[in-house]
Amino acid sequence: MNRLTLEEQKRLLEERYSWVLEKAKKRQVEEKRLPPLPGGEEGKVVTRFAPNPDFVIHLGNARPAILSHEYARMYKGRFILRFEDTDPRTKRPLAEAYSLIKEDLRWLGIRWDEEYIQSLRMPIYYDIARRLIERGGAYVDDRPVEEFRRYRDEGRLEEYPPRRRSIEENLELWDKMLEGHFGEGEAVLRVKTDPRHPDPSVRDWVAFRIIDTGRSPHPLVGDRYTVWPTYNFAAAVDDHLLGVTHILRAKEHMQNTVKQSFLYKHMGWKYPHVIHFGRLKLEGFVMSKSALKKLLEEGIFLGIDDPRFGTIAGLRRRGIDPEAIRRVILDVGVKGTDASISYANLAAVNRSIVDPKARRFMVVFEPVELVVRGVPEARRLTIPFHPENRSLGERSIEVPKGEARFYISGRDAAALREGGIVRLVEAFNVKVERVSPRRVEAVFHSWGLEEARKAKAPIIHWVPAGQVVEVTVYKPEGLKLRILHGLGERALADARRGEIVQFLREGFYRIDAVSREQGEVVAIHAHD
């Protein structure tokens, strides 16, 4: 084929294999692209990912992160990372979470152009609050909540006395709030909205409340502040100040968009474009932060990155390639409906990414001894780590002359019949003589693959006795973790921690721990 000229090759390709071309063309066209952003202009798009650092992120959080990042890149714009940590009381930030989240994002291939932490921007929020009051867009409410609710729910919010205060009075009370004249729960700053808005929660929502940081200190700023902006205030202000043009967020924020737009109106700002998408669920995985926290407290889990968790760290530890996560999220896209991804689907995508680069190793579970007599000569078998990708290298295994001992998997041993021929993959063929539960006896038959084919012999994997490493495998099954023990070939002791490998005929695994001295390996099952 390569002796033909390029022209001849082309012609041949077109005549006889045009479908290959069409397929290739098709694939290019179908390479998943995100739909264009409304009002998206090249070089001018600014997006952000704004996690609460109260825990690590999971697959659901990764969606806005990846989509926002992807859009910023697509339009050659800016991507901002912003930590929203303005509730030291009920959603207390976790000091480690800031860096854990960044680690997860980097692993996902996300790079941010700017980084902000809201708890470090408090003076900015205070300043905007003052300007908002000066514009008559907010008032201090120092009455008990019940009273506010009564007015609100009776549709008489216009008559609510604090709402009717003068700007001067509000400025004074605001200063008092900042000076610490009020305790927790004694005063809030409310944004004036449509007092008759159909959604009561929109009516005069809270922009700032008082949190006793003496009792619940903030991990970054301790008790320096007691007047804290709510999510809606801080996020809205920052989106404007940082020049965010497009907000991509889950639909639980829909009402927040409505609330925040009142603030924008008061300030004369233009609200960014917003895209709301549905929730993303990974079937069979625990996703909710609170549920995860609870499980962790109960023990019995390997940590925040337990492979049974839908956290990014958990998926990483399980052997999922970041590219697989990216593809799945891009495939799910920006639809408003909830999506439920099956692990089979994620696994299929992952397999296609990992398969070309995963080294193959032989590991047998429930090992059964196989004794082969009559090996005609000693041989040093050189076996590549990957059937197609030779750049992954090879290892050699010695087979002695005469009697050779191996281990094969219990499952394969159980399927053997006396008198049958079986091929030890990449080695030779044997004829089975005796099968007992713990031991199989066989006699050398032939070296060649052809003979095995002719005899329709099954091809099984094996491990040479005396040259093994102990393999412990964790196999996540829902919330259970099955533990399997096996024997692996010696070369496995050289695997790198974190490497994703294939155990021949047993599926893909991530190497979780290696102890070369002890000859022990721990691996986590990713998928078949």
Partner RNA sequence: GCCGCGGUAGUAUAGCCCGGUCAAGUAUGCGGGCCUUUCGAGCCCGUGACCCGGGUUCAAAUCCCGGCCGCGGCACCA
Using CB under 7 A as the binding rule, the residues of this chain from 299 to 318 that contact RNA are none
Burial string for 498-510 (b: 16+ CB within 10 Å, else e) reads ebbbbbbbbbbbb
Could you tell me the smallest distance in angstroms from the CB atom of residue 373 to RNA? Answer: 21
Q: Among 422, 491, 504, 526, which residue interacts with RNA (rule: CB under 7 A)?
A: 504
Closer CB to RNA, residue 345 or residue 472? 345
Structure tokens given for 96: 């480690």
Tokens 């019995």: give the residue. Answer: 300
Under rule CB under 7 A, residue 451 binds RNA:
no
Residues 128-187 that bind RNA (CB under 7 A): 144-145, 184-186
Closer CB to RNA, residue 191 or residue 522? 191
Q: CB under 8 Å, gap of 24 or more: what pairs does 226-229 form?
A: 226/180, 226/184, 227/126, 227/177, 227/178, 228/86, 228/87, 228/88, 228/122, 229/86, 229/118, 229/122, 229/125, 229/129
Q: Among 171, 178, 392, 459, which residue interacts with RNA (rule: CB under 7 A)?
A: 459
- Total binding residues for RNA by CB under 7 A? 79
Q: Do residues 474 and 403 make contact, with C-beta atoms less than 8 angstroms apart? A: no
Could you tell me the smallest distance in angstroms from the CB atom of residue 210 to RNA? Answer: 6
Tokens 């087979």: give the residue. Answer: 399
Q: Quick one: which segment of 108-116, 363-371, 399-407, 453-461 binds RNA (CB under 7 A)?
A: 453-461
**SS3 state at 19:** helix
Closer CB to RNA, residue 167 or residue 274? 274
Closer CB to RNA, residue 257 or residue 472? 257
Per-residue contact flags (x/-) with RNA for residues 75 to 94, judged by CB under 7 A = ---------xxxx-xxx---
Residues 416-445 that bind RNA (CB under 7 A): 423, 425-427
Tell me, what DSSP letter sits at residue 164?
G
Tokens 């692209």: give the residue. Answer: 33
Could you tell me the smallest distance in angstroms from the CB atom of residue 70 to RNA? Answer: 14
Could you tell me the smallest distance in angstroms from the CB atom of residue 226 to RNA? Answer: 11
Closer CB to RNA, residue 86 or residue 245? 86
Closer CB to RNA, residue 243 or residue 284? 284
Could you tell me the smallest distance in angstroms from the CB atom of residue 31 to RNA? Answer: 10
Beta strand 507-515 with 500-503 is antiparallel
Could you tell me the smallest distance in angstroms from the CB atom of residue 457 to RNA? Answer: 11
Could you tell me the smallest distance in angstroms from the CB atom of residue 300 to RNA? Answer: 27
Residues 381-410 that bind RNA (CB under 7 A): 387-388
Q: Among 67, 188, 422, 440, which residue interacts with RNA (rule: CB under 7 A)?
A: 188
Q: DSSP secondary structure string, 448-509?
A: -HHHHHHTT--EE--EETTSEEEEEEEEEETTEEEEEEEEEEGGGGGPPTT-EEEETTTEEE
Closer CB to RNA, residue 338 or residue 477? 338
Q: DSSP secondary structure string, 234-281?
A: HHHHHHHHTT--EEEEEGGGHHHHHHHHHHHHHHTPPPPEEEEE--EE
Per-residue contact flags (x/-) with RNA for residues 270 to 289, judged by CB under 7 A = ------x-xx----------
Q: Do residues 216 and 88 make contact, with C-beta atoms less than 8 angstroms apart? A: yes
Could you tell me the smallest distance in angstroms from the CB atom of residue 203 to RNA? Answer: 9
Q: Among 18, 166, 201, 396, which residue interacts with RNA (rule: CB under 7 A)?
A: 201
Q: Which residues contact 81 (CB under 8 A, 6 or more apart)?
A: 48, 49, 50, 102, 105, 112, 114, 115, 116
Q: Among 200, 222, 303, 393, which residue interacts with RNA (rule: CB under 7 A)?
A: 200
Per-residue contact flags (x/-) with RNA for residues 96 to 125, judged by CB under 7 A = ------------------------------
Q: Do residues 427 and 378 make contact, with C-beta atoms less than 8 angstroms apart? A: no
Closer CB to RNA, residue 254 or residue 513? 254
Residues 30-59 that bind RNA (CB under 7 A): 30, 35, 50-52
Q: Which residues contact 525 (CB under 8 A, 6 or more apart)?
A: 319, 473, 474, 475, 476, 507, 508, 509
**SS3 state at 224:** coil
Alpha-carbon distance 162 to 156, whole Å?
13
- Provide the sign of the torsion angle of the four alpha carbons 413, 416, 417, 420, taken in this order: negative
Under rule CB under 7 A, residue 70 binds RNA:
no
Residues 463-502 that bind RNA (CB under 7 A): 502
Alpha-carbon distance 102 to 93, whole Å?
14
Could you tell me the smallest distance in angstroms from the CB atom of residue 515 to RNA? Answer: 26
Alpha-carbon distance 63 to 73, whole Å?
15
Closer CB to RNA, residue 190 or residue 306? 190
Q: Do residues 340 and 283 make contact, with C-beta atoms less than 8 angstroms apart? A: yes
Residues 336-365 that bind RNA (CB under 7 A): 336-342, 344-345, 348-349, 351-352, 355-356, 360
Alpha-carbon distance 258 to 58, whole Å?
27
Q: DSSP secondary structure string, 282-310?
A: ETTSB--HHHHHHHHHT--S--TT-TTB-
Residues 320-339 that bind RNA (CB under 7 A): 331-333, 335-339
Residues 9-28 that bind RNA (CB under 7 A): 19, 23
Could you tell me the smallest distance in angstroms from the CB atom of residue 502 to RNA? Answer: 6
Under rule CB under 7 A, residue 251 binds RNA:
yes
Could you tell me the smallest distance in angstroms from the CB atom of residue 518 to RNA? Answer: 27
Q: Among 170, 193, 213, 232, which residue interacts with RNA (rule: CB under 7 A)?
A: 232
Structure tokens given for 169: 């009075």
